[in-house]
Amino acid sequence: KQEVTQIPAALSVPEGENLVLNCSFTDSAIYNLQWFRQDPGKGLTSLLLIQSSQREQTSGRLNASLDKSSGRSTLYIAASQPGDSATYLCGLSGGSYIPTFGRGTSLIVHP
């Protein structure tokens, strides 16, 4: 059974800092890993999708990496802004798995 852990659970930083959010998983037999953003009272918005054959994906100030051998992914946020404040979730899917999610990292970026 796949288990996904996200560290830290919460993070509060001043604007402009570079951030790293961590996601670890117990079974490396995945097909993809996806990072989502969830704003309060809203649904999940997909940020980045990394296929199992890929090592990283980039979109604007966001960069996600995947290391299947160590069961880890990181989401790097450059030059954080108050608008980045949200909960970030990591989800894995593929094979016989139903997409499985971590509990998220709650991020606050203060001006």
Query: Where does this chain touch other proteins (CB under 8 A) — which range of 21-29, 39-47, 57-65, 67-75?
Result: 39-47
Count of H helices and E strands in the chain? 0, 11
Beta bridge partners of 66: 73
The distance of closest approach from Cβ of residue 93 to other proteins in the complex, given in angstroms and rounded to an integer, is: 6
Q: How far is the CB of 1 from other proteins (least distance, A)?
A: 11
Q: Is 103 in the site for other proteins (CB under 8 A)?
A: yes
Looking at the Cβ atoms of 85 and 94, the one nearer to other proteins is 94
Query: What's the rounded Cα separation, in Å, for the pair 59 and 5?
Result: 23
The nearer residue to other proteins, 23 or 89, going by C-beta atoms, is 89
CB of 45 to other proteins, least distance (A): 8
Complex with other proteins: residue 18 or 46, whichever CB lies closer: 46
CA atoms of 110 and 83, how far apart (whole Å): 9
From residue 67, how far is each of 13, 17, 40, 44 by CA, in Å?
A: 26, 24, 30, 24
Question: Residue 97 and residue 111: Cα distance in Å, rounded?
Answer: 40
Residues numbered 43-102 forming contacts with other proteins, rule: CB under 8 A: 43-46, 49, 51-52, 87, 89, 91, 93-96, 98-101
